Amino acid sequence: MAAGTRTGPVVVTGGAGGIGSVLVRSLLERGRTVRVIDNLSSGRREHLPALGKDPRLTLREADLRAPATYDDELRGASEIWHLAANADIRRGTADSRVDLENGTIATFEVLDAARRRDIPLVRYTSSSVVYGSAQLLPTPESYGPLMPESLYAASKLGAEALCSAYAHSYGLKVHLFRFANIIDGAMTHGILFDLFEKLHRDPARLEVLGDGSQAKSYLRTEDCVAGLLVAVDRALEPVNIFNLGAADRISVREIAEKVVAAHGGRARIEYTGGRRGWTGDVPQQLLSIEKLRALGWNPSCSSAGAIDRTIAELARARGIAPGRAGSTPRG
């Protein structure tokens, strides 16, 4: 089904978040009417600059676990993009109900609302963490068994299972997207945001969790959203599963050194030790993206390129002048 043949508004949960807001902008550019549902716990109104200016865009502040509070947004909708979730793996470890409530239960309510409202298309954003510590890198979508190592990952995998069950039980068509690390200058969490915040508090010292050998794939948000749209336009099975990431990866040590260099190269990097940064962290990750590449999508840059571009954006937003040349102190 080509994008131009769809009718009816698009509902985007979590549409005021970092990835959701870029998706919203792309959908508006395609001529769609977009209804955002967001509890604004991490999303921000300012991420939606067209709000109040473009009549095709609306925002309903609501809790996805209470479908009666957003039922009006679903009337006449043609598809749901379900992006809303807890974005902090460590928070889900500290509070064991966070991912159950905001991930699994919220996804059930969205799917059941789609069933009741006869909305035929649901797109769900999952994560690479569903693979656990995969023994095969790059990891294809067919890899198994899937063994999550965090409650966040378990919630994502449980939500994928619910999507598949609703597709087979009620005739929905679903797309499941397993993300690598998605980054840009508007990010409010993740390694780059955390490192910038740490250096803001102490410009002389940068603590890095783990031993720095952790290595993962990083993808720019605009590349991620472009991949999502290619997939929904060209993959038409009842259940469609795609990885999204860069074709390569970069280590935490390299990222830390780049961040320190952007701050002038004077901070001392101190590693906490151990191959895993925190409980639930998957230290080595690289997704196979050949399935989506076969449909015509490719990321615009490498993991290092995505990191460099995002560091520059974060530095500009904070008024940090380009770092001076020089060696990077290490712990």
Do 77 and 34 meet the contact criterion of CB atoms below 8 Å apart?
no
| Residue 136 falls inside a structural domain | yes
Residue 256 near residue 206 (C-beta atoms within 8 A): yes
In a domain, 256, yes or no: no
Give the pLDDT of residue 304: 98
157: pLDDT strictly greater than 50? yes
Q: Which of 185, 186, 166, 187 is nearest to 175 (CA)?
A: 166
Let me know if residue 205 belongs to a domain.
no
List the CATH number of the domain containing 171: 3.40.50.720
Examine the pLDDT at 325 and tell me if it is beyond 60.
Answer: no
Q: What is the mean pLDDT of the chain?
A: 94
Residue 85 resides in a domain: yes
Report pLDDT for 322: 72
Instruction: Read off the pLDDT of each residue in 84-90 and give the average, rounded to a whole number.
Output: 85
Residue type, 35: R
d(C-alpha 150, C-alpha 94), whole Å: 11
Residue 154 lies in a domain: yes
Is 8's pLDDT higher than 50? Answer: yes
The pLDDT assigned to 91 comes to: 81
Whole-angstrom distance, CA of residue 130 vs CA of residue 116: 28
Residue type, 18: G
- Residue range 185-211: mean pLDDT, rounded: 95
Q: Is residue 302 part of a domain?
A: no
Domain that residue 155 falls in = 7-183+220-244
In a domain, 189, yes or no: no
SS (H, E, C) 151-176: HHHHHHHHHHHHHHHHHHHHCCEEEE
pTM of the model: 0.94
Tokens (6 digits) for 321: 């002048």
Specify if 307 maps to a domain.
no
Judge whether residue 145 has pLDDT over 90.
Answer: yes
Q: Give the pLDDT confidence score for residue 323 in this predicted structure.
A: 60
Structural domain tally of the chain? 1
Indicate whether 159 pLDDT > 70: yes
Which residues, 6 or more positions from 51, have their beta carbon under 8 angstroms from its beta carbon?
A: 45, 57, 58, 59
Express each pLDDT in 25-41 by its tens digit: 999 999 999 999 999 99
pLDDT-derived band at 94 (thresholds 50, 70, 90) equals confident
Handedness of CA 225, 149, 131, 213 (dihedral sign): positive
Q: Each residue of 247-306: pLDDT tens digit?
A: 999 999 999 999 999 999 999 999 999 999 888 899 999 999 999 999 999 999 999 999
DSSP line for 63-126: -TT-GGGTHHHHTT--EEEE--S---HHHHHHSTTHHIIIIIIHHHHHHHHHHHTT--EEEEEE
The pLDDT-based confidence of 87 (bands split at 50, 70, 90) is confident
